[in-house]
Amino acid sequence: MSHSQSYTVRWAELDPNGHMRHSAYADFAADQRVHWLASHGFDLRKFAELRIGPILFREETKYLKELHAGEQIRVEGRVTGGTPDGARWTIEHSIYKADGRVAATVTVDGAWLDLDRRKLTVPPAELAAALSTE
């Protein structure tokens, strides 16, 4: 997986110091993951039909450069690890400033939850293939 999505930093994403608040980095990373999954045919409707959903076990953000209102950013996500069956995965998001410098990285470890049984599950083969790092 390697997929990117572009955004503009909005006023609502700023902290009192005038730069992007810490939780907005995680929000942009999550939105990029949702767009990537949808591009593989796994949108919210498909997950509801399959009765599975993604869950996170860990989320870590490293802040490198400030981002301000009106800045254009690009969020690129790539799978960096996981199990062969796609049941567990690690995705690293790089958040780039318009000039190409990395402003932050957001790394998440996750898995798939069976929404009926409330237990971890293996995803469909097509989703597992999309999560493959090979």
1 pLDDT exceeds 60? no
Distance CA 6, CA 117 (A): 36
- HSE, CB side, 13 Å, CA atoms: give it for residue 129: 6
Pairing status of strand 72-82 against strand 119-121: unpaired
Q: Taking the model in full, what pTM does it have?
A: 0.94
Structure-token pair, residue 26: 């995680």
Phi, psi of 46 (to 5 degrees): -65, -40
- Per-residue pLDDT of 39-83, as tens digits, reads 999 999 999 999 999 999 999 999 999 999 999 999 999 999 999
